[in-house]
Structure 1
Amino acid sequence: MSTTDNAIASAEAHSAHNYHPLPVVVATAEGAWMTDVEGRRHLDMLAGYSALNFGHGNRRLIDAARAQLERVTLTSRAFHHDRFADFCTRLAELCGMEMVLPMNTGAEAVETAVKTARKWGYRVKGVPDGMAKIIVAADNFHGRTTTVISFSTDPEARADFGPYTPGFEIVPYGDLTAMREAMTENTVAVLIEPIQGEAGVLVPPPGYLAGVRELTRERDVLFIADEIQSGLGRTGKTFACEHEGVVPDMYLLGKALGGGVVPVSAVVSSAAVLGVYRPGEHGSTFGGNPLACAVALEVIAMLNTGEYQQRATELGDHLHQELGLLVGGGAVRAVRGRGLWAGVDIEPALGTGREISERLMERRVLVKDTHGSTIRIAPPLVINKEDLDWGLDQLRAVLRG
């Protein structure tokens, strides 16, 4: 057996089968390229579901992590440390908000948002105890914890994991009328993705986000934007909400906030919202640890230059122009997305999304499928145009058969 086959067989034997990875075993990576254990180079067109917006082994992020590793990596929140205040201050400034509650993973940020919205509803809005409702969108993906899958419409995420957490109302994505009709005096929040990533990079109708903002203000309801995948430069803006000039009441951030180096997530909001917490009501041993703060501070500094947002805009325009040329020729049904992020619906007769991904892998391009014959394309924002074009050439070759 080859080194690759041995590694895959061992993983299959000794790890739970909660993922179905492509049969490639990565050993090293730099920028937009990954090298497998056989020494073959592959173009990364997934970027860790946007966790690697700044590329593999980004020197600024590695240097920040290495410097912090030599100082202190964890204190727990039992004590202050010298990177925490700067992290919270800079992230709040980036978001145009006041307070930060740091966690580790995206799912933790979503769980924190649910708790925050409920507590705000009881303490501030005056919703009767135990009656708080949160409106979410169908086809959402906010994580895989027990509470989060309770408001998923994906059978794979939900099946055999009940009983489910109550308190959520599901409405069609992009439908303001349905959202308005679902609101009651006990509604405390609307939780949506500005662009639905796992669903196939679904962009809502023009005016939808602005409409959600207007409706939530009108009804005294929190607008929570899950920007864990869409945020921090991916769409050509720091936040996807900016495409409609919208500022929510709360941002949920993760993935790229840790630069692909360490897991970092955060809930960012106003003092009026996050100020509902008292000591002991929520926490995380590793949330806001010194190593995470050091890396995230460098991420924030990089975003403040605007360089990565500009790259995502320019290369994203090129990506969508090239992908758009494939629509209607019998190979691609539709293309959606913003910036360096695209969902591509392949004609089912050509293969499933998994099969197309495997064929691309054979040509040394790594993408990931979702929902039938859809593939997602989301390269690191540091990719150059020549490499992007080479990756698109491989896609064209696969589609030609």
Structure 2
Amino acid sequence: MTAIPQERRVVTAIPGPKSIELQARRTATVAGGVGSVLPVFTARAGGGIIEDVDGNRLIDFGSGIAVTSVGASAEAVVRRASAQLQDFTHTCFMVTPYEGYVEVCEALAELTPGDHAKKSALFNSGAEAVENAVKIARAHTKRQAVVVFDHGYHGRTNLTMALTAKNMPYKHGFGPFAPEVYRVPVAYGYRWPTGPENCGPEAAAQAIDQITKQIGPENVAAIIIEPVLGEGGFIEPAKGFLPAIVKFANDNGIVFVADEIQSGFCRTGQWFACEDEGVVPDLITTAKGIAGGLPLAAVTGRAEIMDAPHAGGLGGTYGGNPVACAGALGSIETMKEQDLNGRAKRIEEVMKGRLTAMQEKYDVIGDIRGRGAMIAIELVKDPATKEPDAAAAGALAKACHAEGLLVLTCGTYGNVLRFLPPLVIGEDLLNEGLDILEQAFARL
């Protein structure tokens, strides 16, 4: 494992000639529906740096969408996954099981909120985890309806497309979708008509009223929400909203599912974002940051709920692959040893300090939000009207990319810049990335 120098280096245009050549090969053989934020082809990555085939080194503010929290080649992940590769790559846990899967489930029982008895099932992707959480909740409650929220994102499979709020690019032209899915308002403080201070209780009351009138609580199997909404724009539900929804779920025998796929595993400065208001979910879905870049996902929850499906009712050929499980154990080891929750909080302190100073200079920054190393700015044409400015988000991202800083956009209106640096990024790189962003604002 060669350590990559932790310094930005731009030696060609971005993308460079070798990336352009590879892009031509890609266009010939890779389906057009698979997009890329930035068509630079990666040669190596580690720490806070992505090195491309042309020798450029980019500062990484994306972490492969919150996946490589421990870095893209963390020592413990590489060591454990390599050792597992030598032993065996696959048996299928449903054919002959292995210890790694059990160890990951033990770690999840220890780390997730609540001191009740917990069990887990392992899968490959976030969408699979969410889909299985719905299956488990339906088996447990013997009900069918599923409630989700405005601005939510839960995946790209048929059921999870139905759960996802945003049409383009996730749902457009791909219907019909799974039935018995209902969408209610979320507490989006920045855009709440009566202001952020009233948002939590008012949004909860609206959501509960709609569920009660339009579905009937006795028909609801599960309520699913991201404790910090990811793709929808890094929306932190206003205080009081999540506890009110959880109470309503508990009072009515509804399974409350926290979708922590993007926000989990130290990303927000806590093991899980729902801990912020003391929320204890019945089920929690995880993926992304769990295994240091190897494909793994999980549903973890109350033992009696997790045991509701019949034997053989949950599974999948690759679910809980042994190499991915080894990677997860290495990832968790790294998070504990390096106190990545503490690192995430420090990233928040640095980023919010710098971004607040930029907001004072540039009216286009309407809102700064998020927690830990899951921070975003919402861009608007006018702070008074809050009209979304997607063009500014696109232009800023492009300007950052040209200077060797990888940033991502998101949001229902496409007007949010999101920052997801690896939790192991050096503070010098973090500040240099913010310098590049500030210069992009000045030019814009």
Instruction: State the TM-score, normalized to the length of structure 1.
Output: 0.94
Question: 1:130-174 CA distances to partner (integer Å, 9 max, x unpaired)?
Answer: xx1111001111001111112333121222111111111100112
Distance (whole Å) between structure 1 residues aligned to residue 380 and residue 175 of structure 2: 35
Percentage of matched positions with identical amino acids: 32
Residue in 1 aligned with 2:79?
63
Of residues 420, 429, 433 in structure 2, which corresponds to 1:378?
420
Q: CA deviation at 1:347?
A: 4.4
Residue in 2 aligned with 1:322?
354
Distance (whole Å) between structure 2 residues aligned to residue 368 and residue 230 of structure 1: 16
Distance (whole Å) between structure 1 residues aligned to residue 307 and residue 415 of structure 2: 45
Q: CA deviation at 1:299?
A: 2.3
- Secondary structure of residue in 1 paired with 2:131: helix
Question: Counterparts in 2 of 1:1-400, with a 5 A limit?
Answer: 2-18=17-33, 19-76=35-92, 77-95=94-112, 96=114, 97-122=117-142, 127=143, 132-156=144-168, 157-174=170-187, 175-181=203-209, 182-183=211-212, 184=216, 185-260=218-293, 262-305=294-337, 307-328=339-360, 329-348=362-381, 351-370=391-410, 371-400=413-442
Question: 1:303-332 CA distances to partner (integer Å, 9 max, x unpaired)?
Answer: 344700011012212211211222242342
- Secondary structure of residue in 2 paired with 1:325: helix
Gaps of 5+ in 1: none
Q: CA deviation at 1:359?
A: 0.9
Gaps of 5+ in 2: 1-15, 188-202, 382-388
Distance (whole Å) between structure 1 residues aligned to residue 29 and residue 173 of structure 2: 23
Distance (whole Å) between structure 2 residues aligned to residue 224 and residue 8 of structure 1: 40
Q: Does the CA-based 8 Å contact 2:347-2:373 persist in structure 1?
A: yes
Distance (whole Å) between structure 2 residues aligned to residue 236 and residue 114 of structure 1: 28
- Secondary structure of residue in 2 paired with 1:83: helix
Q: Does the CA-based 8 Å contact 1:354-1:368 persist in structure 2?
A: no
Residue in 1 aligned with 2:200?
none
Name the aligned partner's letter for residue 390 of structure 1: E
Q: Does the CA-based 8 Å contact 1:94-1:300 persist in structure 2?
A: no
Provide the aligned length of Structure 1 versus Structure 2. Answer: 392
Q: CA deviation at 1:398?
A: 0.5
Distance (whole Å) between structure 2 residues aligned to residue 337 and residue 117 of structure 1: 29
Name the aligned partner's letter for residue 23 of structure 2: I
Distance (whole Å) between structure 1 residues aligned to residue 158 and residue 128 of structure 2: 11
More displaced 10-residue stretch of structure 1: 342-351 or 199-208 = 342-351
Q: Does the CA-based 8 Å contact 2:259-2:286 persist in structure 1?
A: yes
Q: 1:277 to 1:21 in 2, by over 3 A?
A: same
Question: 1:217-257 CA distances to partner (integer Å, 9 max, x unpaired)?
Answer: 11111110000000100000000001111111111000111
